[in-house]
Structure 1
């Protein structure tokens, strides 16, 4: 079973692919979209387009563009846009986010949990800068170390110690790059636990509901492995922060 399929099944009951509650998502979007009544939003790595769809639902005069390489996720986004009646206000592109160009800038650029597509946080912000209208905002979500990672945490994440920094250093790097945080949200332990239990539970439930499917065993194995890596490895070690940024 390929990674993209596993991710879609795992996020069936938690479509925001990050450890954030619906309330946190709504508050972050409110801060990122305000005060403009109309504008354009760009999500560089939109997945199923959840952030953009919620933005369009909250702002009936905004338009949006999403870019991703996951064809099935984009199909889901298009179907959801039609169901919400916002399909005329959103454009979805099957494209590497690094290759996307547009003739007009955007009032809001998003990348939540997909900075790996650009090679890290600062390269992601550099890409966002190229698309941002004067006075616009960037909504970016990135992991950080809540505490020094153990070997079990690093193994469970398949990460290197240098891949992330602590929260203070993460924010300092953003500020040194010429950005000003105007809002931020750190995921709580409850949000992390809800997210991880939903991720592993949704995938395991699919395997139980489809025992004859050729991928059922792989799905169950992936759920069991992920759960063990989280509970015995990185729980309480990996943090997640979403920042609303403006240029100096």
Structure 2
């Protein structure tokens, strides 16, 4: 079973692929899209859940998504048809760094996908290229809530603490105008949902040749979470505006 198949099954019951509940997603979108008639771009949109929720709640919004996964984009298209928003959604099957839009966007988002760009600041640089004057960026990034073990660093990368993470963003020319730190409930719910969904699929499909691999992966990932990074990993989502050069 490849990584894309694992992710699709694991997120069956938690389509937002970050530790955020529905209310937090709604509030972040409200701050990112204050008018409701903006143009929105998701860099690394996957199955497009952020875009679909924004479009369903805002009948004058137009959105675009970019992703390298044809399977995920097919899910996004089906989701758009199911919610009746396909006429306002454009999807691009390509690398985000190669994407050249016809017009800039009032909101550019990348939540939980900074690894795809090589880190936090490269992700913000990519977003900046597509941002309209006065536009906003919604970004989600992990941080260390407590001093991590070497195992946790090897697994999740060389993150910083929350204050340092925000300082780096501000020094890069951004001003946070809204933020949300995922709660313990959100963090735990996300992990239980992901590895529970994968384990459940494996148990429900015993004849599938991928079932043993899926169950092993679910058990391994759950153990890694509980033993290696549960007590140290945090997640912050920020809505940002560009800081004027004269300030």
TM range (shorter): over 0.9
Q: TM-score, normalised by structure 2?
A: 0.96
Aligned to 1:237: 232
- For 1:159 and 1:131, the matched residues in 2 are separated by 28
CA contact (8 A) 1:40 1:62 kept: yes
User: Does residue 156 of structure 2 align to residue 159 of structure 1?
Assistant: yes
Partner of residue 3, structure 1 = 3
Show the counterpart of 1:216: 211
Deviations 1:171-194 (A, max 9, x none): 000000000000000001110110
Cα deviation, 1:206-226, whole Å, max 9, x if unaligned, reads 000111111101100100000
Q: Secondary structure at the match of 2:156?
A: coil
Aligned-partner Cα distance in 1 for 2:89–2:108: 14
Paired residue secondary structure (1:144): strand
Q: Is the 8 A contact 1:189 1:236 kept in 2?
A: no
In structure 1, the gaps of 5 or more residues are none
SS of the residue corresponding to residue 198 of structure 1 reads helix
In structure 2, the residue matched to 1:101 is 100
2:6 touches 2:214 (CA, 8 Å); kept in 1? yes
Report the counterpart of residue 63 of structure 1 in structure 2.
62
**Cα distance in 2, alignment partners of residues 193 and 159 from structure 1:** 16
Residues 1:119 and 2:118 are matched in the alignment = yes
Are 1:203 and 2:184 an aligned pair?
no
Structure-1 separation of matches of 2:3 and 2:54: 27
Number of aligned residue pairs: 243
Structure 2 unmatched runs, 5+ = none
- Please identify runs of 4+ aligned residues in structure 1 that moved more than 6 A: none
1:194 aligns with 2:189: yes
Q: What is residue 33 of structure 1 aligned with on the other side?
A: 33
* Contact 2:134-2:242 at 8 Å conserved across structures: yes
- What secondary structure does 2:148 align onto? coil
Superposition deviation, residue 153 in structure 1: 2.6
Q: Let me know the Cα RMSD of the aligned residues.
A: 0.9
Q: How does 1:13-28 map to 2 (within 5 A)?
A: 13-28=13-28
Matched, 1:42 2:41: yes
2:195 partner SS: helix
